[in-house]
Amino acid sequence: MNASAAADDRDRPAVLGGNPVLAAALSFLRPSLAPIQDLLPGLERLWAGGMLTNHGPLEQAFAGALAARLEAAVACAASGTTALMVACRALGLRGEVLLPALTFTATGLAPLWAGCRLRFVEVRSEDGTLDAAACAAAIGPHTEAILAVHLFGNPCDRTALEALAERHGLALIFDAAHAFGSRYADGRPVGQGGLLEAFSFHATKVLPLGEGGAVAGLALDLVARSAELLNFGQASRLEGSRRLGLNGKMQEWNALVGLAALPLVDDWIRRRLDLLAAYRRGLSPLPGIDLLSPQGGSRSNGQYLALRVDAAGFGLDAGQLATALAAEGVPTQRYFGVPLHRQEVFAAASDARLAVTETLASQLLCLPLYPELAADPVDAVCRAIERIHRHGRQIRLVVSR
């Protein structure tokens, strides 16, 4: 083999028979965890005390630490989904709720559980969050609330949505599952927006507890009502249930993991943002590729790196790029490739016409991003995407959409 044939061979994407850019496949994500030694004393106390749940000292300490950080009232929950469900109930929502379809299914399930009717509204192409102007146009006589999502960690346009909600007397809830540590344009932490915000502390999130969530907000009475709903709807045992609640309590083990993680989370977020910047630099020369980004001076927590792949410019669509990257040892996720108005459970609201949502759903591809990821693999992923782009024509012949 002559020198140029050898170079060609090295340059060939793995999906066309070349060597993968990564000798060992990457993880899509790794949960960020505090060193296990930091958890052992707490675990020993937990074992000795035997109080595993029902608002034990660890859950209370975690709720206090969250409240101090967010400068808001906080009720801990078993998951982001339960947090969102009780947020809808705490506001007594029963009518029409405006929400995006470009999100995880839980965003739509929560208001549906509360008995609401859903109306899906368009998002902005720059950051994937709810478009306030489209919301304004969608408000009808039965509209009761807006449920907006800080997608991938990008904060919504809080000012515009709050003004709209106030003007029309609507409740405003933020699904902040992706956005612990993100900040609004005015520098305030996500957690203080609208009437209530619902966080997720799932294993895949910036602050991972395994399962967990929280309702947060500046209105003490609404957060207190949410806490009651998460505890079977009872304010006190003597009185019993006075609201239609559920068991949405956070367990002590999860709170312990959260307490150990909280002092580290800002470092983890900084690391995520550094890696995101490295991806951005590495990918910026490529045509047809860009990243969803926080708008208007707001700040993301780097929860997910969402790449927008324009097939006409890049030469391959998001699905084809995902297949080619998998061959290179780079796992990806197609969040949120099936928008909610295309899912069976939301069929009653499937008549929405959402051109931007449909385009983003077909174009988005999330790349590996987590604090433990070293800089070298990020360079390798960017190199892989670059050589996949150069061989787009051949790849199109072997990889179906």
The tally of CA atoms less than 13 A away on the side-chain side of residue 216 is: 29
The answer for 75, left when phi > 0, alpha when psi is -120 to 50, beta otherwise, is: beta
Query: How many chain residues are in contact with ligand T4K, going by CB under 6 A?
Result: 24
Q: Is 225 in the site for ligand T4K (CB under 6 A)?
A: no
Question: Is the sign of the CA dihedral 7, 8, 9, 10 positive or negative?
Answer: positive
Give the tokens for residue 345: 């459970």
The CA angle 221-223-229, to the nearest 5 degrees, is 105
Assess whether the previous peptide bond of 180 is cis (omega < 30° from 0): no
User: Of 13, 80, 193, 294, which one interacts with ligand T4K (CB under 6 A)?
Assistant: 80
Residues 6+ apart with CB under 8 A from 326: 332
Taking alpha carbons only, the member of 124, 295, 271 closest to residue 206 is 271
Task: Single out the segment in contact with ligand T4K by CB under 6 A; choices: 3-11, 13-21, 73-81, 229-237.
Answer: 73-81
Comparing CB distances to ligand T4K, the nearer of 78 and 395 is 78
User: Of 86, 171, 177, 190, which one interacts with ligand T4K (CB under 6 A)?
Assistant: 177
Amino acid at 296: G
Q: How many CB atoms lie within 10 A of CB 363?
A: 23
Q: Is 357 in the site for ligand T4K (CB under 6 A)?
A: no
Q: Is 334 in the site for ligand T4K (CB under 6 A)?
A: no
Query: Measured from the CB of residue 50, what is the shortest distance to ligand T4K in angstroms?
Result: 26
Angle between helices 252-261 and 36-49 (to 10 degrees): 150
Comparing CB distances to ligand T4K, the nearer of 12 and 30 is 30
Q: Is 393 helix (H, G, I), strand (E, B) or coil?
A: helix
Task: Single out the segment in contact with ligand T4K by CB under 6 A; choices: 78-86, 93-101, 134-142, 284-292.
Answer: 78-86
Q: Is 202 in the site for ligand T4K (CB under 6 A)?
A: yes
Task: Single out the segment in contact with ligand T4K by CB under 6 A; choices: 27-35, 87-95, 242-250, 308-316.
Answer: 27-35
Q: Minimal CB distance to ligand T4K: which residue?
A: 80
Are 153 and 304 a contacting pair, CB within 8 Å?
yes
Q: Is 203 in the site for ligand T4K (CB under 6 A)?
A: yes
User: Of 12, 16, 18, 28, which one interacts with ligand T4K (CB under 6 A)?
Assistant: 28
Comparing CB distances to ligand T4K, the nearer of 100 and 315 is 100
Query: Measured from the CB of residue 155, what is the shortest distance to ligand T4K in angstroms?
Result: 13
Contacting residues toward ligand T4K, per CB under 6 A: 27-31, 79-81, 84, 103-104, 106-107, 149, 175, 177-178, 200, 202-204, 213, 333, 335
